[in-house]
Structure 1
Amino acid sequence: MQYERGSPQSYDQWAKITGDRTWKYEQILKYFKKMEEYLGISTKEGNGDMNDGTLNLTLGQEIWFNAGRELGFTIFNFSEPQRVGFHPLRFTQKNGMRINTYAAFLKTIEETRKTFLEIRRYSIVSKILFEGKRATGVYYTRHGIPRVASAMKEVIICAGTFKTPILLIKSGIGSESQLRAANVGPIIAILPEVGRNLQDHPIVQIGPISFDDNITLWNPQQNFTFEDVEQFFKFKKGPLTNPYELKFGEAIVASNGSAREVGPGWPDLQISFDSVKCTIRLIRSHSRGLLKFNSSATGIEDPFFLTAEFKFFKIDRDIDAMIQGIDFCFKVVESTESFQKFGAKHVHQSIAECDHEEFGSKEYWTCYVKHTAGLSYSAVGTCRMGKKYELDPPRSSVVDHKLRVHDVENLRIVDASVMPTIPNANVAAATMMIAEKSSDIIINHYCRKNSKLCETKNKS
């Protein structure tokens, strides 16, 4: 999985929104460093320190950087704050294999500290249980058998951007219109922002990019062999262990609109290139979507209980930024010696919906973006953080700065849904950082209540 922290301004904005300075980048950087272990090579441009955590990060190829240097960009290192420039890719990978959060954080604890942690697999939670306003446990099914798990202290929901708001609504927490439409009862708390503020990084790709015969680029979708598969599964070797065959690196760029609004230090475009195409991500979209109740759903157990409406490009400056990203791709591929010495060029493949516009014009690319844009699968924000004390209802957030759900007791959310704004980077690292920070929040909360817990923690 690709790993990026994002720009400091993304997290400083969280601190401003929540009124809690501990969400500032300088405060949460320690949580990123805590979980990182660097196994790659240095770009030799930057003095960022490397860390010894449980995630395993590697770095990519240099071919992309030569074009960046030609265009006057700097190459920034992994441990430096993200800014405008070119940088190598980082992946959570070790010995040719992707490292997921279970392998990095849970597996060892599950195997060595069974008295502290019990994981009940194949368990589907369908409702949070309450006594009045106090969360007391969850209702779930395991192997088709209904069960109840009771909470001695609190319930922590980590179901993700889509399922967490669904679970809240099923449990009686949401907007009045949502709860009425879903015919949910009893109503526990009216929180209008449940399921709103949906964000992702819209993505557009242009290509194919062709090269002359002086270069051979390996594409696993077309070129891998049975020998490659055997090398991967038996020995963790071969081309299938190398994610950089798919992406050479990235450029982080600020569109004109972003530079005027907040300066170049908080870029809004992520550009990457592989052996076939150029990819543009809008990493600071101004558009906001929502989850809507599906009137055709058969009930609250229906998997299509809610539908997602991302509402991309409802704001013109988002389209303008995407078009500037497309122009940047052409500049890299068709005007730099690094690419031109291999005869790189864009092979135009028009789409029928935009044939009425002149290729290359702003009108053409506007049409192209609207018809081809997709998701980065980095959805966040549907139970966003905000201030604990707001002037008047209705509340404009779902959880406070310590991730506690407003207007109820003993219920906390720890997942990507709490992000008030999406970071200008792939969100996996930010999501894991939230989990690291929340563990400190929770431990400190109960240590203050019971000093003996702090003594036990310090001894361990």
Structure 2
Amino acid sequence: MGAKASDNREFDYVIVGAGSAGCVLANRLSAGGEHSVLLLEAGPEDKNLWIHVPLGYGKLFKEKTVNWMYQTEPEPELGGRQVFQPRGKVLGGSSSINGLLYVRGQHEDYDRWRQRGNSGWGYDDVLPYFKKAENQQRGGDEYHGVGGPLTVSNLGHPDPLSAAFIDAAAETGLPVNSDFNGASQEGAGFFQTTTRGGRRASTAMAYLRPAKNRGNLHVETSALAQRILFDGRHARAVEYRQHGVLRTANARKEILVCGGAYNSPQLLQLSGVGPADLLKQHGIDVVLDAPGVGNDLQDHLQVRIVMRCPQRITLNDILNHPVRRVMAGARYAAFRSGPLTIAAGTSGAFFKTNPRLASPDVQIHFLPFSTDKMGEKLHAFSGFSASVCQLRPESRGSLRIKSADPAMPPAIRINYLATETDRTAFVEGMKILRKILAAPALKPFVTEEVEPGPKVTSDEDILNFCRQRGSTVYHPTSTCRMGNDPLAVVDQRLRVRGIEGLRVVDASVMPDLMSGNTNAPTIMIAEKASDMILEDAG
């Protein structure tokens, strides 16, 4: 259906994607009252009950009403398996369906970005934006802020297993670390989470909800961007489809693409900004031959070890028992506490697989439950799990549209385990994790290792297990990479190189994958981008 004249509206800023970054921009750009802002989101409002219950992320993995539910292409090093890629399609984006961990990465990550020519992105440059965003439960200090929109809380439901993991890690020689986001990341400790009063603090709740009634902010849901419209090489408008009607939103100042590592490069390619050969193949007019759009895709792989527990204290025991499950639900409903407040990692650790490394290259997520696949039924036995995640993979992949149809999922190739460094990190990481799980502090809680099991001992066996069972930690980045080289998509102010009036603001601009979970850094990027956009507006 064609656009109607009445649908042709004009705003100062049009933001595409109401996810972790888009909600931040919508709040900050509309705060002064002088700029009109339109926020477009392909998914619905965040009304699903399970979005707001921390443990509800398990119910949202396969919930297509709020999740793009992408799959990779067959992964060569994983035996041709396709790897499921859940991404948020709802107000708050992936911050509405993620595992809620607040992890910023290492100071060195940001200094590396700066050293690669991205001035203004070193650790000292970005720390003020982490602090600006944050309302830290523990109070403010050199590394943390209070009074920001995003509440960062301590673990709401400490359990004996998660505490024993930290003790076990200390017994193997790892330091105990009370703050992974402080002076140093290395060590074992409890994760903090983006929760407030036992409920999820998505960017929709933290940033968008307080701003929603501003007269200069307009939010449209069920609005799938079709393409960006250009006048020469100046981005002028966004064409989007809503309830079967094609609409156009004009931008007086800028269009801000915040679709994430998959949807941002997809939209650029659909709009004629991308590898020319690919665009011509799908009958798309080339606005700018930008071969880097969709390149350099990175993601964190994780491989889980599952342990059987002799005590009925795991989440498996609570949620598989009808009475205990009802009691846990009642406790949450009454007090916003108990097992339903658990995030996708209670305690964890960061360590080096090789002493010659400058900083940790592996992250462990510990969980007081076990399952064959995230989002599926918990094991019938008493079990817990811990996963190895390599922090800085060398492997890079790509994202390519498969068609000129915006509703068609793109081709996602991540190339997990493509390099020797990546393969070695997993083998060594699994060995170190096994040592922690065998330490005295966990002895009272372990009957046996269920997976990979005692038969998997050689390096070759461990690597084969990683190939068979490895899955994503849901951290795709770098498909619209920031930099100064010919394949960089955006400059250090996140403007699309070679185009006017267009920026990308989300995890896709990261020059490479940082050493930890990606939600907090994405929020930081949007906080910093907000300042740059307002500065450039004069």
What's the TM-score, normalizing by structure 1? 0.85
Matched, 1:289 2:397: yes
Q: Is the alpha carbon distance of 1:432 and 1:242 closer, same or farther for their aligned partners in structure 2, counting shifts above 3 Å?
A: same
Q: How does 1:377-388 map to 2 (within 5 A)?
A: 377-387=474-484
| Residues 230-250 of structure 1: CA deviation (Å, up to 9, x unaligned) | 33245423321243xx64411
Contact 2:105 2:515 in 1 (8 A): yes
Q: How does 1:259-274 map to 2 (within 5 A)?
A: 259-260=355-356, 263-264=357-358, 266-274=359-367
Distance 2:488 2:319 in 1: 43
Matched, 1:317 2:459: no
- 3-state SS, counterpart of residue 320 of structure 2: helix
Distance 2:128 2:331 in 1: 38
Distance 1:178 1:313 in 2: 26
Distance 1:168 1:250 in 2: 37
**Structure 2 residue aligned with 1:280, among 361, 382, 388?**
388
Q: Is the alpha carbon distance of 1:13 and 1:96 closer, same or farther for their aligned partners in structure 2, counting shifts above 3 Å?
A: same
Distance 1:163 1:50 in 2: 31
Matched, 1:123 2:223: yes
Q: How does 1:81-96 map to 2 (within 5 A)?
A: 81-96=183-198
| Residues 440-460 of structure 1: CA deviation (Å, up to 9, x unaligned) | 11111122xxxxxxxxxxxxx
**Structure 1 residue aligned with 2:511, among 414, 417, 420?**
420
Matched, 1:36 2:134: yes
**Structure 2 residue aligned with 1:201, among 300, 307, 318?**
300
Amino acid at match of 2:154: L
Distance 1:255 1:290 in 2: 28
Q: How does 1:233-252 map to 2 (within 5 A)?
A: 233=333, 235-243=335-343, 247-252=345-350
| Residues 249-284 of structure 1: CA deviation (Å, up to 9, x unaligned) | 11101122xx53xx33x2110012223112111111
Contact 1:18 1:400 in 2 (8 A): no
Distance 2:246 2:401 in 1: 25
Matched, 1:301 2:406: yes
- 3-state SS, counterpart of residue 136 of structure 1: strand
Distance 2:497 2:346 in 1: 44
Cα offset for 1:430? 0.7
Aligned to 1:450: none
Q: How does 1:99-178 map to 2 (within 5 A)?
A: 99-111=201-213, 114-178=214-278
Which of structures 1 and 2 has the bigger CA Rg? 1
Cα offset for 1:72? 2.3
Distance 1:106 1:146 in 2: 25
Contact 2:225 2:241 in 1 (8 A): yes
Distance 2:525 2:291 in 1: 23
| Residues 178-213 of structure 1: CA deviation (Å, up to 9, x unaligned) | 11222101x110110111111110010122x12334
Aligned to 2:432: 328
Matched, 1:65 2:173: no
Aligned to 1:451: none
Q: Is the alpha carbon distance of 1:270 and 1:52 closer, same or farther for their aligned partners in structure 2, counting shifts above 3 Å?
A: same
Distance 2:435 2:134 in 1: 34
Cα offset for 1:343? 4.2
Contact 2:130 2:144 in 1 (8 A): no
Cα offset for 1:47? 8.3
Aligned to 1:456: none
Q: CA RMSD in A?
A: 2.3
Q: Which runs of 5+ in 2 are unaligned?
A: 1-99, 369-383
Contact 1:176 1:192 in 2 (8 A): yes
- 3-state SS, counterpart of residue 472 of structure 2: coil
Higher helix share: 1
- 3-state SS, counterpart of residue 370 of structure 1: helix
Distance 1:5 1:19 in 2: 18
Amino acid at match of 2:365: S
Amino acid at match of 2:148: G
Contact 2:266 2:401 in 1 (8 A): no
Distance 2:385 2:177 in 1: 23
Amino acid at match of 1:347: V
Contact 1:96 1:242 in 2 (8 A): no
Aligned to 2:470: 373
Aligned to 2:146: 51
Amino acid at match of 1:109: A
Cα offset for 1:143? 1.9
| Residues 323-361 of structure 1: CA deviation (Å, up to 9, x unaligned) | 111111211111x221114445413556xxxx9xx6200
| Residues 75-113 of structure 1: CA deviation (Å, up to 9, x unaligned) | 2232414432112111101111111001111111112xx
**Structure 1 segments (4+ residues) deviating >6 Å:** none
Contact 1:182 1:300 in 2 (8 A): no
Q: Is the alpha carbon distance of 1:441 and 1:308 closer, same or farther for their aligned partners in structure 2, counting shifts above 3 Å?
A: same
- 3-state SS, counterpart of residue 131 of structure 2: helix
Distance 2:346 2:527 in 1: 30
Q: Is the alpha carbon distance of 1:18 and 1:222 closer, same or farther for their aligned partners in structure 2, counting shifts above 3 Å?
A: farther
Distance 1:96 1:70 in 2: 32
Amino acid at match of 1:13: R
Distance 1:41 1:339 in 2: 32
Amino acid at match of 2:529: S
Contact 1:333 1:345 in 2 (8 A): no
Q: Is the alpha carbon distance of 1:423 and 1:337 closer, same or farther for their aligned partners in structure 2, counting shifts above 3 Å?
A: same
**Structure 2 residue aligned with 1:26, among 124, 132, 144?**
124
Distance 1:152 1:278 in 2: 50
Aligned to 1:436: 527
Amino acid at match of 1:37: N
Q: Which runs of 5+ in 1 are unaligned?
A: 448-460
**Structure 2 residue aligned with 1:411, among 502, 505, 511?**
502
Q: Is the alpha carbon distance of 1:150 and 1:48 closer, same or farther for their aligned partners in structure 2, counting shifts above 3 Å?
A: closer
Contact 2:224 2:240 in 1 (8 A): yes
Distance 1:379 1:233 in 2: 34
Q: Is the alpha carbon distance of 1:92 and 1:348 closer, same or farther for their aligned partners in structure 2, counting shifts above 3 Å?
A: closer
Aligned to 2:490: 399
Distance 2:467 2:407 in 1: 31
